[in-house]
Amino acid sequence: MSSELSLQAVSRHFGDTRAVDNVTLNIRPGQFVGVIGRSGAGKSTMLRLINRLADPTEGSILFDGKDITALKGKALRAWRRDCAMIFQQFNLVERLDVLTNVLIGRLAEHGFLSSMAMRFSDEERAMAIQALDRLDLVPQALQRAGTLSGGQQQRVAIAKALVQQPKIMLADEPIASLDPANATLVMDGLKTINREDGITVLVNLHTLDTARAYCDRIIAMRQGRVFFDGTAAQLTDDVVRDIYGLEGLREFNEAVTSTAIRTPVPA
Ligand SMILES: Nc1ncnc2c1ncn2[C@@H]1O[C@H](COP(=O)(O)OP(=O)(O)OP(=O)(O)O)[C@@H](O)[C@H]1O
């Protein structure tokens, strides 16, 4: 199927650690997929393999039928543009204003010289303002990114990803440092983009409630393997207990409560 993302028996080992262990998944275009699991379960490594920040030890990853693990040079840069990544710590240039940070998302389209000069067209500026508008951030457009709250910074990061015009958005624990109100705004932003633009979203989450509320499909990982793959409705405590036993239920609930030990960024 066109634009399907497919992981085929993918593993990534670090010495004796099987960070990702024989994972096979097919993700249809436009799905909103949440990945949950205890710290160390392999969630980040899986996203990093998809956008080629890491390479698999075994297996292949296909998008649109093309093996993305074989891409190099220009083709690899094009894949990274198609597959935007959002990080827990926002990855913005704090001393630059919000609009410029969003425009940086366009640099993959520029040649070396125009990248160095950070020259952007009127059309690109309009695109960046429109992306900020969708995330309710136009009033902050000329403010330095470092002066925004954590939730606002994460929404800027989403706007920056959006102007890349990606086909997939990968988000590695985008709300783990945020308070609940800001976390809701960020998740709402991702959901709107998913619904309105049909962009596939794959998001690592620590809270089961968030996964249930937003995701069409939930994948739980344990020791590098897929431990559960289904809809939120299928993910009742009874189902988890039936399939995985009491130990599984305990692990499931533990897996998603570790947010409490993270330090929130002030709103
Ligand atoms: N670059 C690396 N070198 C060595 N080991 C690594 C590396 N990256 C990840 N690992 C190991 O792989 C396993 C999976 O890590 P990963 O970060 O993917 O888990 P995670 O589910 O994202 O955890 P968290 O929720 O804490 O981010 C862990 O045991 C981790 O220590």
Please provide residue 131's backbone torsions phi and psi, each rounded to the nearest 5 degrees: -65, -40
Residue 228: strand pairing partners: 220
The pLDDT confidence band at residue 266, using thresholds 50, 70 and 90, is very low
For 179, list phi and psi in degrees, rounded to 5.
-75, 165
With bands split at pLDDT 50, 70 and 90, how would you rate the model's confidence at 263? very low
Segment 17-20 long-range contacts (CB within 8 Å, at least 24 positions apart)? 18/223, 18/224, 19/45, 19/224, 20/45, 20/46, 20/49, 20/56, 20/224
In the sheet with 225-230, reading across from the earlier edge strand, the strands are 83-87, 168-172, 200-204, 32-36, 217-222, 225-230
In the chain, what are the domains? 5-261 (3.40.50.300)
More confident residue, 214 or 261: 214
CA of 220 to the centre of ligand 1 (A): 15
Report how far ligand 1's centroid is from the alpha carbon of 44 (Å): 7
Return the best residue to mutate from 44, 261, 262 for the ligand 1 pocket (most ligand atoms within 8 A of CB): 44
Residue positions counted in the chain: 267
Q: Which tokens is 147 given?
A: 């002066």
Are the C-beta atoms of 4 and 26 separated by less than 8 Å?
yes
Alpha-carbon distance values, 179 to 40, 126, 175 (Å): 23, 31, 8
Which ligand 1 atom lies nearest to the CA of residue 44?
22
Stretch 45-61: mean pLDDT: 96
| Cβ partners under 8 Å of residue 162, min gap 6 | 84, 105, 131, 134, 193, 197
8 A C-beta contact, residue 255 and residue 228 = no
Which regions of 98-224 does DSSP assign to beta strands (E)? 168-172, 200-204, 217-222
- pLDDT tens profile 101-121: 999 999 877 766 666 667 889
ipTM of the complex: 0.95
Cβ-contact 173, 206 below 8 angstroms: yes
pLDDT in tens, 208-255: 889 989 999 999 888 899 989 999 888 888 877 776 777 777 777 766
In ligand 1, the atom with minimum distance to the C-alpha of 221 is 21
Residue 191 CA to residue 194 CA, distance in Å, equals: 5
- 49's CB contacts (< 8 A; 6+ apart) are 7, 10, 12, 20, 55, 56, 61
Of all protein residues, the one whose alpha carbon is nearest to atom 30 of ligand 1 is 40
In the predicted structure, residue 256 carries a pLDDT above the cut 60? no
Residue 43 CA to ligand 1 centre (angstroms): 8
